[in-house]
Every structure is written in C-alpha cells, then in structure tokens.
Amino acid sequence: MRIVSRPLVLLLNCITICLAVVMLLPGVWIIAASLTPSRFLNQGLLLKSVSLENYFVALESANFLLLYRNSFVYALGLLAAQIPVTLLAAYGMARAPVRAAKLLFYVVLFQFFLPPVALIVPNFILISRFGLTDTLVGIALPYVASATGTLLLRQGIRQIPTELEEAALIDGAGRLQILLRVVAPLVGPYIGAFCLVSFVYHWNEFIWPLVVLSSPEKRVLSVGFASFTRASESGAEWGLIAAGAVLVAAPLVVAFLLAQRFFIESFARTGLKG
C-alpha cells in the first residue's frame, strides 16, 4: 500500500540524498585526515600523500587490544545490568497508580538535572567505601539506574494498549511473565535504541573512568584516546587524532549495524490494534 504519492517520494529521496551528502563530510574528513601524514596536514594539505603512518603510530602508542577488551567488558557488562533494572522500573512506573506514577517520573527525571561534574567527587567517595576504585565494576555502578533507559522504556510501554496484558492476567499470568513475554517484545525497538545510546555514551565517556581507574591495564579506550589529544596540544598532531578517532569509532559502527535491524520494520506491533 502506497501512502505517499510518486512525485513526493522522488522529492523526499532527493532531500535525503542532499542531506546525506552534507552529513557525510565529518566521516570523510576524519578518514582523509587519518590517511594524511601530519607534516602535510598541518600545512592544510589534506591527502597530499596517502599513508597508514598515523595508524601505525597510534597502534604503537597504546595496547589497543587491551583497551578494546576493557571498553567492551565495561559497556556490555553495564548494559547487562541496566536493561533488567530499567525495564522492571519502567513497567512498574507505567502501570503504577496515576499519582504515584507522576511523582516517580520526576524522581527519576531528577538524575538529568545534576551535571555530570557534580557527581564525580561524591560518587568517587562512595565507590572507594565499597573498595571498588580501579575496577570496571566501580565505573559502571553509578550508571545502572539509568534515567534515559527508564524514561525511554516507560514511553514505549505506555504506547501499548492495556487490553493485551489484561487478557494475559485473566489467563493467570504473573506480572513478571507478562513483562517478559508480552511487553518486552513489543518495546524491542526502544530497548534497541537504548542499548545503542548507552553503548555509545559509555564507549566515549572520559572523565569518570579517568578518575576511577589508575592502573594502565584497566584503562578503557576513551582514556587511551585522550593521550593522543593531549599530545596534540604541544604539536597539533591532527592526523594522529583522526586515526585514533577512527580506531575508537570503528566498533561503534559495527554496533550500529547490528542494532540497526531493530529499526527496520515493525515486526512487533502489526496486528495488535485495529
């Protein structure tokens, strides 16, 4: 069934292509810069000659394998805790009595109001009380109760008509069962979006891991990457920064392509409501 007329489709596709060409620029620039030796790049001679020099220097200056591993453990481990905690809470919030639900919304939202800088000192004190400084668990714990995840999933759950759940309740299903079997599949795209957001955010996060982690073998990728930017302040190694950025971002492109299928077609909702 075509709901948009043919000339309009053509026009919209043209707009999409134009926008995409413009937005291609950052990625193309970064890749081009990463392939240009710094001595040319600093004179503004982009792609004057092409070499993998910057990548070799970047790969030599840090143990990337270890950095990737630590970042993966941190970002995925955190997700494994965030998803059950936020999904349970989002469902509880969405189906709580109206007044309590309203209050809870603000209680969770409050997390957005504190700037991340304000959290560093008190959370560090708390983490050290638990003896978790210099551990990946220590950097993950403050993020388990994610307001982003809870509120996004709450919005998703409130898009589901309650009739389905009521039918399941009458059939004798428990709430937890309903959440896992009925609700969670229906909010799949929201869970996918949240996974991607959380993964990208924590992959690139810098100051908090820098404060908590002290031993080099526990370092995460973003902290390793920062050593390039710091070097740049003295010598403006833009080529090296670009190569580092490509190395940091590459796994995220893969993560996006994997999460991508959640957004393709509404596999969940079709046939739910007429």
Of residues 116-175, those binding another protein (CB under 8 A): 116-119, 121-123, 125-126, 141-145, 148, 150-152, 155-162, 166, 169, 175
User: With contact defined as beta carbons under 8 Å apart, do 44 and 239 qualify?
Assistant: no
Q: With CB under 8 A as the contact rule, which of the stretches 48-56, 64-72, 208-216, 258-266 interacts with another protein?
A: 258-266
| Residue among 133, 86, 129 nearest 111 (CA) | 86
Tell me if residue 52 falls in helix, strand or coil: coil
| Residue among 128, 155, 148, 153 nearest 139 (CA) | 128
Output the CA angle 25-27-29, nearest 5 degrees: 65
Contacts of another protein in 77-116 (CB under 8 A): 84-86, 88-89, 91-96, 100, 104-116
| Residue among 193, 194, 249 nearest 26 (CA) | 249
Shortest CB 63 distance to another protein, Å: 19
Q: Evaluate the CA torsion angle 47, 53, 56, 59 in order and state its sign.
A: negative
- Out of 57, 222, 237, 239, the only residue in the binding site for another protein (CB under 8 A) is 222
The size of the interface with another protein (CB under 8 A), counted in residues, is 111
Shortest CB 69 distance to another protein, Å: 19
Q: Distance of alpha carbon 247 from its chain centroid, rounded?
A: 17
- Does 253 sit near another protein (CB under 8 A)? yes
Q: Helices (H) and strands (E) in the chain — how many of each? A: 15, 0
- Does 235 sit near another protein (CB under 8 A)? no
CA distances for 62 relative to 30, 40, 123, 205, 241, angstroms? 20, 24, 28, 18, 13
- Does 7 sit near another protein (CB under 8 A)? no
- Does 15 sit near another protein (CB under 8 A)? yes
Contacts of another protein in 61-80 (CB under 8 A): none
- Residues 261 and 254: their CA atoms lie apart, in Å, by 12
Shortest CB 266 distance to another protein, Å: 4
Shortest CB 214 distance to another protein, Å: 18
- Is 23 or 65 the residue whose CB approaches another protein more closely? 23
Q: With CB under 8 A as the contact rule, which of the stretches 50-58, 60-68, 72-80, 234-242 interacts with another protein?
A: 234-242
* Paired tokens of 15: 């707009």
- Out of 6, 23, 131, 217, the only residue in the binding site for another protein (CB under 8 A) is 23
* Paired tokens of 87: 């999904």
Shortest CB 180 distance to another protein, Å: 12
State which amino acid sits at residue 190: Y
Shortest CB 52 distance to another protein, Å: 18
Shortest CB 49 distance to another protein, Å: 18
